[in-house]
Structure 1
Amino acid sequence: MRVSVVHQRGRRRRARYARLLWNGAEVVATLGVVLLLLVAHQLWWTNRQAKEGAERKVHALEREWEGEREGEGEGEASAGEGGERGVPPAGAGDDRSGSGEGRSGSEAPPRWDQAYAVLGIPRLGLRVPVAEGVGKAGVLNKGYVGHYPGTAQPGGVGNFALAGHRNTHGEPFRYLDRLRRGDRVQVETRAAVYTYVVDRTLPRTSPGDGGTIRAIPRSTVKPAYGYTAPAHYLTLTTCTPQYTSKYRLVVWGKLRSVRPR
């Protein structure tokens, strides 16, 4: 009987070990499924939601502007208006400044988190709202591009500086690294369409490189990149490499033309 008891104890011990291994495998499998769901939510669902929301906002802005133009009536514009014009010299006597307070025409300054313009980049097939501020909850995570407070407004002398996600939440700047010198970038507001042309790219710099968004943009980390004279600049910034926020990619452009709406 003693041998039988030993065998029974051995079988019970092995059964306990098997149950522990099985329970551990179930926990690992459950955690794996949860992680996969989180990744799917972050990489797919947030993108879908943000992209759809951003597209709706673009259409809403376009309908709003079209309605305002129709309400103004026809025949009010004098002969010769509505055509494309060049860029005034930096410092010319217009109503725009590089301090961030200047703005195009008689447009009121945007409220915080307000979407007030549309950024279009033909090479990337991109049309996305521009909102005031670079907060995640109110702007970037909605799939919008955010305007750095304190920088110039569209068409203003100085630096119209923008930020956008490269991955997740609509990822409007995912392919920003594909832009090349000479590519067009358009910014549409209720008053005008501003066409910038890509001029230079800073492939990688630190997140704290504030010089890239100054009125005369110039990297404080890599001083060989940037400018030395006032002009009408555009700056686009995003994280790099993809799926990290370790560095920043910066694309600069200059204003080529302005077309009143």
Structure 2
Amino acid sequence: MTRMEARRAARAAKESFAVIASRAVGEIFITFGVLMLLFVVYQLVWTNVQAGMEVDEAKSRITEDWAKGGSDAPKAFEAGEGFAILHIPKLDVAVPVAEGIDKEKVLDKGLVGHYAEGALKTAMPADKEGNFAVAGHRNTHGEPFRYINQLKPGDPIVVETRDTYYVYEMASILPQTPPSNISVLKPIPDGSGFKEPGRYITLTTCTPEFTSTYRMIVWGKMVEERPRAEGEPKALTG
């Protein structure tokens, strides 16, 4: 082989290596892109599908339990146990309420969680005074609270229990506050505009969308307590 041929062969070998390396890097980026796309699809689509099935099962368990009889007499619910259904007619939301705000046991299943532990313990709807506070996802995992920012004063929020419908009217909203601001859960919540003891509801969720940097808070005040035996309240029948 002449020197000229040897140089050409060496150049061809180098070019081949560069082509191979370039192709390998390209394939890595394509694979990474596909994985990222699958992750996004999982987060935005599949978690909602899974949550939808969990919500349907939880509703069935709650209604079956109610059908067995009993009463709304005070009792201690187990963490993750569903005990009510939250209706937000304007948003076409009807989601089970479970005890506690555990991410895995409650929120990631598409349920709404009742603040029920330690310093975050809040009232139940049947209590004659206090603030029934709940949390729910705004995005993914069923996203029951995605559009609560669209609620306006006077919009109904209904909590359905074994014996009773508790009807609240949306009163005010705090668009953004740090997660550390637990004063929004107080019996008379700070920032709500309420000035005296009453029967209140607080909805909390993450904001801005697709982040957990801050919390959005929606408050309501009870305006009706209706036995289920008398049928659905006007807030649900339209």
Superposed pair shares fold, TM > 0.5: yes
**1:199-237 per-position Cα deviation (integer Å, ceiling 9, x unaligned):** 111111111111100111004xxxxx5433111010000
> Identity rate of aligned residues, in percent?
42
**Following TM superposition, by how much is the alpha carbon of 1:105 offset from its aligned partner in structure 2, in angstroms?**
4.7
TM-score using structure 1 length:
0.82
**1:153-188 per-position Cα deviation (integer Å, ceiling 9, x unaligned):** 113211100000001111110111111100111101
Aligned to 1:108: 75
Aligned to 1:97: none
Aligned to 2:197: 230
Aligned to 2:185: 213
Amino acid at match of 2:85: V
Task: Check the 8 A contact 2:135/2:203 in 1, yes or no.
Answer: yes
**Following TM superposition, by how much is the alpha carbon of 1:67 offset from its aligned partner in structure 2, in angstroms?**
4.1
Provide the rounded CA distance (Å) in 2 between the counterparts of 1:258 and 1:108.
19
Match of 2:146 among 170, 174, 180: 174
Provide the secondary structure at the position in 1 that maps to 2:69. helix
Match of 1:152 among 123, 131, 146: 123
**Following TM superposition, by how much is the alpha carbon of 1:110 offset from its aligned partner in structure 2, in angstroms?**
1.3
Matches within 5 A, 1:21-170: 21-68=22-69, 105-149=72-116, 150-156=121-127, 157-170=129-142
Provide the rounded CA distance (Å) in 1 between the counterparts of 2:74 and 2:162.
8
**1:64-107 per-position Cα deviation (integer Å, ceiling 9, x unaligned):** 323428xxxxxxxxxxxxxxxxxxxxxxxxxxxxxxxxxx9513
TM-score using structure 2 length:
0.89
From the two aligned structures, give the one with the greater helix fraction.
2
Task: Check the 8 A contact 2:171/2:221 in 1, yes or no.
Answer: yes
* Residues 1:260 and 2:227 aligned together: yes
Provide the rounded CA distance (Å) in 1 between the counterparts of 2:95 and 2:147.
14
Provide the rounded CA distance (Å) in 2 between the counterparts of 1:162 and 1:196.
14
Q: 5+ unaligned residues in a row in structure 1: which ranges?
A: 70-103, 220-224
Q: Which runs of 4+ in 1 moved over 6 A?
A: none
Aligned to 2:156: 184
Provide the rounded CA distance (Å) in 2 between the counterparts of 1:19 and 1:173.
50
Provide the rounded CA distance (Å) in 2 between the counterparts of 1:167 and 1:46.
10
Tell me the matched-pair count. Answer: 222
Q: 5+ unaligned residues in a row in structure 2: which ranges?
A: 229-238
Provide the rounded CA distance (Å) in 1 between the counterparts of 2:196 and 2:137.
29
Provide the rounded CA distance (Å) in 2 between the counterparts of 1:177 and 1:51.
22
Aligned to 2:231: none
Task: Check the 8 A contact 1:193/1:258 in 2, yes or no.
Answer: yes
Provide the secondary structure at the position in 1 that maps to 2:66. helix
Amino acid at match of 2:42: H
Name the Cα RMSD after superposition.
1.4
Aligned to 2:235: none
Provide the secondary structure at the position in 1 that maps to 2:49. helix
Aligned to 2:212: 245
**Following TM superposition, by how much is the alpha carbon of 1:192 offset from its aligned partner in structure 2, in angstroms?**
1.1
Greater RCO structure (CA 8 Å; 6+ sep)? 1
Q: For the structure 1 residues 208 and 226, does the alpha-carbon distance in structure 2 shift closer, same or farther, using more than 3 Å as the test?
A: farther
Provide the rounded CA distance (Å) in 1 between the counterparts of 2:61 and 2:150.
28
Task: Check the 8 A contact 1:218/1:228 in 2, yes or no.
Answer: no
